Amino acid sequence: MDEYIDKSKTELDKCMAGEYYDCHDKIFLEFKNTTRKLLKDYHALAYDQKEEKRKVLKELFGGIGTNVSVGQPFICDYGRNIYLGSNVSVNMNCTFVDCNKITIGNNVLIASNVQLYTATHPVELSERLTPGWGPDMEEYFCRTYALPITIGNGCWLGGGVVVLPGVTIGNGSVIGAGSVVTKDIPENSLAVGSPCRVIRKINQNEERKEGNA
């Protein structure tokens, strides 16, 4: 990662650019406070309060299409970086760590306990620790950066799937339950495992035929 520090960039600019940023900067604390209040309101709503729930989701997310359901409980960091298309079902107990952008297309199924993580840290300890950090410093003790996640149209993520930072899952792909997706998955693929690997291509015509049977 480029060590050059552009003083003209805000911490939010750095975050969205995939650079090291201060995750405890005031702007992120404001985002989290707002999000926690909205999530509290959302979780207080009954299952059948569809209109009230949509109103909260429209305020919480960066963008939302039509016919979208998000099961309770639901956890996210900022909410503002989450963009959902139309005909999207997010089942209960999902976690979206949206420090960077999470984009989900149309006609997508996300099963229970799915976790989408955009935030990450360097692997090497010498790189992970903030240079010159001390207990009296306001800066966080370790370096953090975030990379976007994209889930294409027509995807299905099975129960307990974990998607790591920077991953794109192509249109029409299915990720098997319990998989950990560490790299991009091409479109129309069935992929499973930890780390997740493609095991075969999906014939979308056959899939539609089976679905209508």
Closest CA to 84 of 98, 100, 68, 97: 68
pLDDT of residue 26: 94
pLDDT at 7 over 70: no
Catalytic residue among 93, 121, 198, 207: 121
Are 119 and 96 contacting, i.e. CB atoms less than 8 angstroms apart? no
| Domain positions in the chain | 12-122+139-212
pLDDT of residue 178: 97
Query: Where would I find the H helices in the chain?
Result: 11-16, 26-43, 50-60, 125-128, 204-212
Residue predicted with more confidence, 112 or 135 = 112
pLDDT tens-digit readout, 159-183: 999 999 999 999 999 999 999 999 9
pLDDT of residue 138: 67
Residue predicted with more confidence, 213 or 28 = 28
Sign of dihedral through CA atoms 75, 94, 198, 83? negative
pLDDT of residue 209: 47
**Residue 211 backbone dihedrals phi, psi, to 5 degrees:** -65, -25
Omega of the bond prior to 73 within 30 degrees of 0, cis?
yes
What predicted TM-score, i.e. pTM, was given to this entire model? 0.89
What is the C-alpha separation between 204 and 208, in angstroms, rounded? 6
pLDDT at 210 over 60: no
At residue 208 the predicted structure's pLDDT band, cuts being 50, 70 and 90, is low
- Annotated catalytic residue 43: no
Using CA atoms in the order 44, 45, 47, 52, what is the torsion angle rounded to 10 degrees?
A: -160
CATH H-level, domain 12-122+139-212: superfamily: Hexapeptide repeat proteins (2.160.10.10)
At residue 137 the predicted structure's pLDDT band, cuts being 50, 70 and 90, is low
